Amino acid sequence: MLEGKKIVLGICGSIAAYKAAALIRLLVKAGADVQVVMTPDATNFITPLTLATLSKKPVYVDYFTADTGEWNNHVELGLWADALIIAPASANTIAKMATGLCDNLLMAVYLSARCPVYFAPAMDLDMWKHSATQQNINKLQSFGNILIPPGSGELASGLYGEGRMAEPQEIIDFLLAKLKKKLPLADKSVLVTAGPTYEAIDPVRFIGNHSSGKMGFAIADKFAAMGANVTLIAGPTAQVSKYQNIKRIDVTSAAQMLQQCLLYFKAADACVMCAAVADYTPANVATQKIKKQQGDINIELKKTTDILKTLGEQKTNGQILVGFALETNNEEAHAIEKLKNKNLDLIVLNSLNDSGAGFKTDTNKVTIIDRDLKKTAFTLKSKTEVASDICLKVTELINK
């Protein structure tokens, strides 16, 4: 959720300024573009060079850069930012923010900002509890500024209590929680399956397919980016999720995938079954490796449980169920039959006859068909873009 976000990080004169280094590292690691603005007093606690190295941008302290005379445009900075975070926010800076006092570059950026403003107080216990400070904080919140509450612990003075700045990871978690509430699928639960299944013949060999899991993982990532709580049930694959908050469950066989789907489906607002699940599995699995012998060998196969149909039978009102149809002939007819027979809300059709679509590619070409048989055909796109198209269709149904 922070990827690509433009963040101005304001740092004030406080011993807690040392935490800014770790905060910048976390923001950059999350994909944010960070511009640091320091008050002159903040440079006494941590050097601009340290923060410039971590943010990979020059740090602004004054209205003008002394050696070049270049103007650090506070208006442009205020308009550029997607968020302004002032951490640490000293009692002095909080008072200035509350009264509109503008005697340094950071306060000029604050007064120019049109984005959400977060502030993380850092001060001693008695300063924090003082009625003037509390009045200023209430005033800032009435302006729409967002307080990142301080923690309790040992303070620089040796006292113990409230006033210490929130830890960098706590600030990141706070930001993510706030951002997530604004996303279209906040508080929604989505179940996604991805990859192949491997059906054991013996301890060494299996029956499988060519699914890489790329499409399913792209869908799970997109749902997570839209704020959903995602559970991803993955067959054997080398794919890795971009989002750490995706709950990943690894399985091998169709039976294991069925078991996990039944466990998580009831709580899901939507379920997207992207996995390429085996239709047949060996009736008898050898306990020892089968040795090569003269002549042919026959392996008896039995049908696996149709996971998609099973979930379709259990689907309740309001749940969205999406299936995939990878076809080689009579594509549309087969997809529509699957849509109806398995009680789906959407079927995503793609054909192995389309160049660039199918297994192991980074692209796909799909047609999405809904319950009313309305078809939306898409051109060849990257699987990330296809995932966006699918997730937007699902979101429309969830929020209908």
Catalytic residues: 209
For residue 244 the two structure tokens come to 């750490």
Cis-peptide into 88, omega within 30 deg: yes
Compute, in degrees rounded to 10, the torsion defined by CA atoms 89, 227, 256, 341: 180
d(CA 58, CA 42) in angstroms, rounded, equals: 15
User: Does 96 belong to an annotated binding site?
Assistant: no
User: Does 338 belong to an annotated binding site?
Assistant: yes
User: Does 400 belong to an annotated binding site?
Assistant: no
d(CA 61, CA 11) in angstroms, rounded, equals: 10
d(CA 286, CA 112) in angstroms, rounded, equals: 72
Residues sharing a CB contact under 8 Å with residue 125, sequence separation 6 or more, in sequence order: 155, 157, 159, 160, 161, 162, 163
Positive or negative torsion for Cα 194, 344, 243, 215: positive
User: Does 374 belong to an annotated binding site?
Assistant: no
Instruction: List b or e across 88-99, with b for residues whose CB sees 16 or more CB atoms inside 10 angstroms.
Output: bbbbbbbbbbbe
User: Does 57 belong to an annotated binding site?
Assistant: no
CB atoms within 10 A of CB 169: 11
Give the residue ranges of DSSP H helices in the chain: 19-29, 48-55, 74-80, 91-99, 105-112, 125-129, 131-142, 168-181, 214-225, 254-265, 307-314, 331-341, 383-398
Residue type for position 119 = F
Which positions make up the binding site?
A: 279, 289, 324, 338, 342
Which positions make up the binding site for CTP?
A: 279, 289, 324, 338, 342
